[in-house]
Amino acid sequence: MTQPYGSFIQNPSLAFSQYSKVMADDVADQIGRLYPAASTQFDMQHPASDPFGQALIDSLRMHGYAVQETVKPDNPLLAVVFPDLVDETDVQPQQIAQTETKPGLALRYIIDQSDNLYHVSILIDDQRLTRAFVDQSGQIQPAGLWVRRQLED
């Protein structure tokens, strides 16, 4: 069974973009305590097109992480903007070998909301980091400590 990932915020408030940045910065700070920046790459396992996902990618990059984004394959804009990005007949086998990168850590997230409480779960390979945030008087702040759990297959 495949679990859906991404944002499940229904009708986000006007402040949600600001809240997303605060929560994403907090996530990146926590990840920084667990994984070394500048030598860790994350591979997004789903599109991160919502405000939280974009803020998370930006924050991770600002903290020194490489992030490989997932793009929807049916995105017609890519075909229009980059129709001939690579002419495969011009690529030599040794060029391909030089550009291959080591796969990064699988990164997924789930963010949802109930009343003024936001729940953020970050999944990195077989680790789950979870924290709640509360919206009080127009400010978002942690509602508890980070919980770290090893996932089982």
Per-residue pLDDT at 44: 96
Q: Is 1 a member of any domain?
A: no
Q: Is the dihedral of CA 26, 66, 64, 147 positive or negative?
A: positive
Q: How confident is the model at residue 151 (pLDDT cuts 50, 70, 90)?
A: confident
Helices 16-34, 51-62: axis angle to 10 degrees equals: 40
Phi, psi dihedrals of residue 89, rounded to the nearest 5°: -75, -20
Q: Which domain holds residue 79?
A: 6-150
From 136, 135, 129, 138, select the one nearest 110 (Cα to Cα): 129
Residue-wise DSSP of 15-50? THHHHHHHHHHHHHHHHHHHS-TTS-EEEESS---S
- Report yes or no on 113 lying in a domain: yes
**Predicted TM-score (pTM) of this structure:** 0.79
Say if residue 108's pLDDT is above 90: yes
pLDDT value for 62: 97
Give the whole-angstrom CA distance, residue 68 versus residue 22.
22
How many independent structural domains does the chain possess? Answer: 1
Q: What is the pLDDT of residues 6-54, one digit of tens each?
A: 999 988 888 999 999 999 999 999 999 999 999 999 999 999 999 999 9
**What is the 3-class SS of 133-152, one letter each residue?**
EEEECCEEEECCCCEEEECC
Cβ partners under 8 Å of residue 103, min gap 6: 41, 43
Give the pLDDT score at 103.
84
Kindly report the backbone phi and psi dihedral angles of residue 59, in degrees, each rounded to the nearest multiple of 5, phi listed first.
-65, -40
- Nearest CA-CA partner of 131 in 107, 114, 148: 148
Residue 70 pLDDT: 81
Of the given ranges (53-62, 65-74, 98-107), which has the lowest mean pLDDT? 98-107
